[in-house]
Structure formats: structure tokens, C-alpha cells
Structure 1
Amino acid sequence: MTLMRCPDCGREISNQATACPGCGRLLQERGPTVAASGEWAGRPPYFYEYKSQIILFGLPLVHVIFGPTWLIGFKPARGIIAVGNIAIGFVAFGGVAMGLAAFGGISLGLVCAGGMALGLGLGAGGIATGYWALGGIAIGVYALGGLGIGAHTLQNDPNMLRFLSAPFGRGSS
């Protein structure tokens, strides 16, 4: 081990250090090593994957996969319950989620919630579509939101406003 000076603060530090203990400047990147074949040697950093041993309908019961896109590519989590950057399953949680019930930044499915929820049944989010849509921009047969576009909205259906303002026990009368 030899000593060197930090380029920012001038403190003497080891040449093996990844960052200066005085000022915090990064001195060297310690990334994963790449084998001669071009494959990762060992596990890439910041990567996690779990697949349950229980298989239903040809899919694992739970599949979780996380890691930076530049490192793992666009590898989706596929399972009955899927969690990941990209998740595809019956119940999916992720940045991009697709499933019967989907929750994520961009979600597609029968019931979904997220920043952009593209639902067939119920969509709830910043931008939402679906038969029932709730969101900042809501597009559906029944739409409730800042901008509601549909057959039944607060702007064009007076019965909807009465229904929403009635106590839950009384119904829409």
C-alpha cells in the first residue's frame, strides 16, 4: 500500500481507497469485473433476484428482480406475484407493471394504480383510463378527476355528484 494525495483537499490517503475520508471525493470506481467472455464475473453490484420454488401455471409464485437497467438490461420479473423494475404477473408491482392487478409508475391491467394507470376495469392515478377512472386526467365511462372525460363525469352527470355526496348508508337516492 502506498500513500497518495487527494486531488481536492491534499490529504494523504491510501491508493487503495475508493473515496477520500476527508472530503469524500471518489478516487476510483470499483465496478464488477468482466470475464474474457464478456460475461459478469460473479454477481453484479446492486442486483437482487428471488424466485420461489413453488410453481403455479408455469410461473413461480413470487419473482423479485431489482437492479439498474444499465446493468441487468430490461429483464422483467415474471410470476404470480411479480416485483421489479419491470413486473409481469397476476399481481405486479414495479416501475412498469403489467397484470390483472398492477401497481407502478406505468401500470397496465384489469385493476391498476400508478402515475399512468391504463386499466380495463379500474384505473387510478395521475393519468388514468378504464371503465372506472379516477385521477388528475381520467378517461373512462365513469370518470372522476381534474379533467374527466367520459359518459358520466361530475361535469355532465348531476346524479353522479348526488351519489358521491350522499352518505354511504343511503345509496344514491
Structure 2
Amino acid sequence: MKPCRECGHTISEQAPVCPTCGVPYPARERWDGWGFEYKSQATLFGLPILHVCFKFRPNRVPVPAKGIIAIGQFACGGLTISQFGVGVFSISQFTIAGFALAQFAVAYSLVAQFGIFLHQGRGLLVWSLADIIRRLQ
């Protein structure tokens, strides 16, 4: 038995929630959310070389992966592998990128099911941004 880190009520070490105050995992000294996160110690330009993050904060807000190589549900970086991504090179379901492989994309160059590109694009329904602007005039 241990005291809850918030209210001090005695609880089991395996308790998922404090019965008094409702704090999640009350026996742990520190708890910063649900899920998995790995950040490499090595950095480049202030970003970790690798950041893998499938995590939610205690207030249930997702934590984005930010790094040279970023992998997660939400990701931002040089190479992103994600559901929602922003990056130079991106493999995502939804992305804004320089070069993209995605279901929905806005990119300089892309391969996508649906997308808007600046230079070159391949896919089911992809359009050049220049063509879209031309048609609007």
C-alpha cells in the first residue's frame, strides 16, 4: 500500500485510479499520460534524430512526434511516418509535405489517392495547384 501522490489517501500500488481524488495511477511518483514515447538522446538542429510517439497527455491531448525522423499518430519532421504529418518526406494518411506518399496530400511532389501538388503528382484524383488557380480565374 502506498499514499496517493495527490491526496495522500492509502491505495493499492496496482490501483488504476484513486478512489478519493480520481487521479490516474496514483501510486506512481510521476505520471505524464497514456501510451508509448521514445526520443533518441542524439539531436540535430535541436530535434531528436528519432522520435516515436503514440501517447496522450493526462488531459487526453495527443503528443505529436517531432524529430528528424518522426513516427506517430501526429508527426512533424524531416521524415514522417504518421496518420497526420507535416514534413519534408512524408508517408501519411493526411499530409502537407515536400515529397509525399499519402491518401490525402498537399505537396511539392506526391503519390496520393487525393492530392494537390506544385511540381508533379500521381494518383487517383490529383491536381496541380497552378491548374486549380487557372480554372478559378
TM-score w.r.t. length of structure 2: 0.68
Q: Which residue of 1 aligns with 2:114?
A: 127
- Sequence identity percentage: 23
Moved more, 57-66 or 35-44: 35-44
SS at match of 1:53: coil
Q: Which residue of 2 aligns with 1:107?
A: 95
Instruction: Please report how far the alpha carbon of residue 105 of structure 1 lies from its aligned counterpart in structure 2 after TM superposition.
Output: 0.7
How many residues were matched structurally?
113
Question: Equivalent of 2:17, from 27, 33, 41?
Answer: 33
Q: Which residue of 2 aligns with 1:97?
A: 85
Structure 1 residue runs of 4+, over 2 Å off? Answer: 30-45, 67-72
Instruction: Please report how far the alpha carbon of residue 128 of structure 1 lies from its aligned counterpart in structure 2 after TM superposition.
Output: 1.7
Q: Aligned letter for 1:139?
A: W
Q: Aligned letter for 1:125?
A: A
Q: Which residue of 2 aligns with 1:57?
A: 45
Gaps of 5+ in 2: 1-13, 133-137
TM-score w.r.t. length of structure 1: 0.55
Q: Which residue of 2 aligns with 1:19?
A: none
> Whose strand proportion is higher, 1 or 2?
2
Distance 2:84 2:70 in 1: 11
RMSD across aligned positions (CA): 3.1
Distance 2:65 2:47 in 1: 10
Matched ranges for 1:66-85 at <5 A: 66-67=54-55, 72-85=60-73
Distance 2:92 2:22 in 1: 36
Higher relative contact order (CA 8 A, sep 6+): 2
Contact 2:56 2:63 (8 Å CA) reproduced = no
Instruction: Please report how far the alpha carbon of residue 92 of structure 1 lies from its aligned counterpart in structure 2 after TM superposition.
Output: 0.6
Q: Are 1:88 and 2:67 counterparts?
A: no
